[in-house]
Amino acid sequence: MSALTKLTLKAALDGLAARDFSSVELTQAHLDAMAGARALNAYVLQTPDRALEMARASDARIASGDAGPLEGAPLGIKDLFCTAGVPSTAGSNILRSFVPPYESTVTAQLWRDGAVMLGKLNMDEFAMGSSNETSAFGPVINPWRSTASNRALTPGGSSGGSAAAVAADLALGATATDTGGSIRQPASLTGTVGIKPTYGRCSRWGVVAFASSLDQAGPIAKTVEDAAIMLRSMSGHDPKDSTSLPVGVPDFAASVGKSPKGLRIGVPKEYRAEGMPAEIETLWRDGIAWLKEAGCEIVDVSLPHTRYALPAYYIIAPAEASSNLARYDGMRYGLRAPGANLKEVYEETRAEGFGEEVKRRILIGAYVLSAGYYDAYYIKAQKVRRLIADDFTAAFETCDALLTPTAPSAAFGLGDASADPIAMYLNDIFTVTVNLAGLPAISVPGALTADGLPLGLQLIGRALDEETLFTLAGALEKAAAFGAHPARWWA
């Protein structure tokens, strides 16, 4: 593998600006690495011709002094983002033939700033999953392996392809989305950095919808600074998205490296889950100590409605999914299965096109929205959501950010939880509260387990206060000094 693929995004941008190497050379190095890593199944589609064309254009702009903030940097794109003229499948058979004629706002902004597209990244079907096993294109394999076993492990989900590609040096960074933890949990399981920004910070236009009030785009990157650089380009008000916030975009990277001295960090007692592995508890204590040593004040806080978050989420998200996915009927785009009449076409298309987990969530959503159960389930879940948001509001009266574990375990074996939906849903236990409240949160790698697998720490911030999160995440990253990389086994 070329040393160029080992670079961080920041180092690559600096090298391109200094003419140490060209974007074509950098892009070709990543394309070569991707060709040798097909065993990971991180990409569902590679776009080498387009990537090299974009790289040549970047080199020309660099030479003319007209470089953008991401000029020449090769990135991977989660296949939930529509890319004009390039298949965009959302990991589903029902969209396997869909080629959008338009570009998502987030990816358009990346190209505006000079980024290069390497290809489309694998994901759980319609972003529904925590292990990247529901993809119609097969599971992504985590580049990390346990020292105790050679079993194939999950990279987490739904942004498993994004996390695996970054961890295996198959992209300098990647776009991802987070509906209940789908950026942060994969980042934790792959030793990468992932931030879910404030709801409305990044446009949802052109991103295939799962649960519209919860979905939010964000980056997965190698370092905190890289994530900050990417998020700046991905963010911004978009009039095409009614939920997009009309606020300015800070220079997030400028917050990385600042002293966190004087910031108050809340430690919520409700995140000490029953049966949580001792290694995660130890890392949490280490994280508290690291921030304390950096000059932060540690305070205990309570988020009393946390235990209701998972049930509320798994009512609200499927309800919204059942509505959003009704558009896939075989009439306008994507798969169309034959049928004797319109009703049969609908039924056969959906039966053939949707995977089992998607069907499960559509059925749950239709059930909780039905006339006899709407008040008992959906309305009650929305009331719980309000109480969870109020818990955070109260907590932030006494602290500037919260520190918690990111995920309840390290990477687990493929198939270990796929037969038990409840066990799979429990992977989101530390992350769904943030989506329900619309807050920003970041996962930073902190340590390895005894079996050599990465674990992450999560920081949760006030709405639109990603800058504080980047300052604290930078301090955690420096203290943890996490420099481990997966041993190359896939080629």
As a whole number of angstroms, the distance between CA 279 and CA 282 comes to 5
Given a contact cutoff of 8 angstroms between Cβ atoms, the answer to whether 71 and 61 are in contact is yes
**Strand, coil or helix: 360:** helix
pLDDT higher than 60, residue 197: yes
Q: What is the mean pLDDT of residues 264-269?
A: 97
Task: Return the pLDDT at 372.
Answer: 87
Given a contact cutoff of 8 angstroms between Cβ atoms, the answer to whether 268 and 306 are in contact is yes
Q: What is the mean pLDDT of residues 166-189?
A: 98
Range from 133-137, 187-191, 331-335, 434-438 carrying the lowest mean pLDDT: 331-335
As a whole number of angstroms, the distance between CA 260 and CA 472 comes to 6
User: Which one of 22, 23, 88, 158 is the catalytic residue?
Assistant: 158
Task: Return the pLDDT at 338.
Answer: 92
User: Which one of 23, 58, 78, 244 is the catalytic residue?
Assistant: 78
- Residue 158 appears among annotated catalytic residues: yes
Q: What is the pTM of this model?
A: 0.96
User: Which one of 130, 159, 182, 322 is the catalytic residue?
Assistant: 182
As a whole number of angstroms, the distance between CA 286 and CA 377 comes to 39
pLDDT band at 298 (very low <50, low <70, confident <90, very high): very high
- Give the whole-number percent of the chain exceeding pLDDT 70: 100
Q: Which single residue is written with the structure tokens 């702009």? A: 61
Q: Mean pLDDT, the chain, as a whole number? A: 96
As a whole number of angstroms, the distance between CA 203 and CA 196 comes to 13
Range from 44-48, 275-279, 360-364 carrying the lowest mean pLDDT: 275-279
Mind listing the domains of the chain with CATH numbers? 3-262 (3.90.1300.10)
As a whole number of angstroms, the distance between CA 90 and CA 43 comes to 12
Range from 253-267, 288-302, 341-355, 383-397 carrying the lowest mean pLDDT: 341-355
Task: Return the pLDDT at 419.
Answer: 72
Task: Return the pLDDT at 46.
Answer: 98
Beta strands in 251-349 (DSSP E): 264-268, 297-301
As a whole number of angstroms, the distance between CA 23 and CA 62 comes to 9
Mention every residue, 6+ apart, whose C-beta is less than 8 A from residue 383: none
